[in-house]
Structure 1
């Protein structure tokens, strides 16, 4: 009789296994006055989102896990950058996108360019010759922004791929160019025009700055630093028929000047964070 009762009890327990997670089940053995109570078992499965926006820090957290977590999370991370920014400065007018690896590290990709000659004053002197400058900058860049103290203070570093046109026109003084200690009449030389090109095809840069958040989504930033553009090659052409050697000497003076060998970086901008 006990074997039959035990068999019935086992069958009842197995049959009611689907209900154990919702409510306890009580089974009574009348002969032995034994009460069996099955406690509910709760099993929870929680999927990690891989990344989450931290409103206080203004960045995405743990996107490294999202990048390596699989195709779906990689696509979500790539198509949802942590921030987009607009900027103006000595590199030009431009924009960038940023991807936060954590609350202290952000990868950046951007471009800045245009005519920024007026930001440098619009002219410069190479020995005794004054030159007007016209520029057409193109500066795509890749870099890292670090927040070493996890606050608004930033340190940046990266690489610029410069493709900058710098055109110059020499100005006369009292109708003469004074080049390499000699005076050349404008009537003989004509106009002196040239181009300057930096030798570096990749230009490393470093900056320090600030990036305070105004709201959960909007912020401002400023940066100071420099990029090493390298020494320069110059080409100068004289429009007059005589004294082409004046142009050759002007080329040498311009190359010795090494205009913007260290390009100062000064930029201001605004950021929208997702």
Structure 2
């Protein structure tokens, strides 16, 4: 009888061990989650019911590492690279595709834009020759609302543009002058036959006039529309039109003649009232290689 009881107990232990060994194990990134081993009593002396939520500790290491890896791979593997030339200068940008209609762009454009397009402007009646050294890093979103070649873009430029304006005097020699606020500011001492009228506010010996211009916006929002047709599976071209708001202009004027200091404030006011390139037109053309 004792032998029969021992045999029955041994069989029960072996059955229980086999049942425990059969519980599933889930592997997640070289670690594992074993199904929980908690039971709840359904009623007195009627057995046990498995509770799958008891004691569960979720392993999020795989998700965090996987998400970080995906983000890193996305950043280091852009969808396209483009070269461009336009009113912001020569440049290039990288694009990361979020879906078939949306890209994130980061780029830079700069250089001597005045040399590229020719540079001069008028502030009231004075003509200025312009030299530039542009630096325009930017970041924005490029949309294809109809999932075709038509694009819409918006973003932010961080402008750091050096603009030097040199005034061109009317006439030549000492008879040359700058017409400022109804008066004539002569480069030197004019000849006797010059139309010199002190009652009008004319000045002599103003010398050469240069100005350093700076836009006041440190961040410049922009918007564009354009087209981006694909020529092959990898190559495409694009064109864009739009504008960036660079803000009002601050001018630092230098008139190097004996009476230059008297002229500087008037010339400064005229330049700042002109708001040179307050709204910077954006015109660009370029080519794209898609990876």
TM-score range, shorter chain: 0.7 to 0.9
Once residues 163 and 111 of structure 2 are traced to their aligned partners in structure 1, the CA distance between those partners, rounded to angstroms, is 11
Larger Rg computed on CA atoms: 2
Once residues 68 and 241 of structure 1 are traced to their aligned partners in structure 2, the CA distance between those partners, rounded to angstroms, is 71
Deviations 1:186-226 (A, max 9, x none): 01011001111100000000000000001111100000000
Deviation, structure 1 residue 185: 1.1
Assess if the C-alpha contact under 8 Å between 1:68 and 1:74 holds in 2: no
Partner of 1:228: 245
Show the 5 A alignment for 1:185-200. 185-187=186-188, 188-200=205-217
Give 4+ residue runs of structure 1 displaced > 4 Å after superposition.
none
Once residues 90 and 214 of structure 2 are traced to their aligned partners in structure 1, the CA distance between those partners, rounded to angstroms, is 20
Show the 5 A alignment for 1:62-211. 70-174=67-171, 175-187=176-188, 188-211=205-228
Pairs aligned (count): 209
Partner of 1:246: 263
1:189 alignment partner, SS class: coil
Deviation, structure 1 residue 120: 4.9
Q: Pairwise CA RMSD of aligned residues?
A: 1.6
Partner of 1:52: none
- Runs (5+) with no aligned partner, structure 2: 1-63, 189-204
Change in Cα spacing, 1:120 to 1:246, as seen in structure 2 (3 Å) is farther
2:75 alignment partner, SS class: helix
- TM superposition score normalised by structure 2: 0.70
Deviation, structure 1 residue 73: 2.2
- Runs (5+) with no aligned partner, structure 1: 1-66
Q: Return the match for 1:219 from 230, 233, 236.
A: 236
Once residues 222 and 159 of structure 1 are traced to their aligned partners in structure 2, the CA distance between those partners, rounded to angstroms, is 19
Deviations 1:133-173 (A, max 9, x none): 00000000000000000000000000000000110000100
Assess if the C-alpha contact under 8 Å between 1:157 and 1:204 holds in 2: yes
1:70 alignment partner, SS class: helix
Deviation, structure 1 residue 76: 1.9
Partner of 1:44: none
2:231 alignment partner, SS class: coil
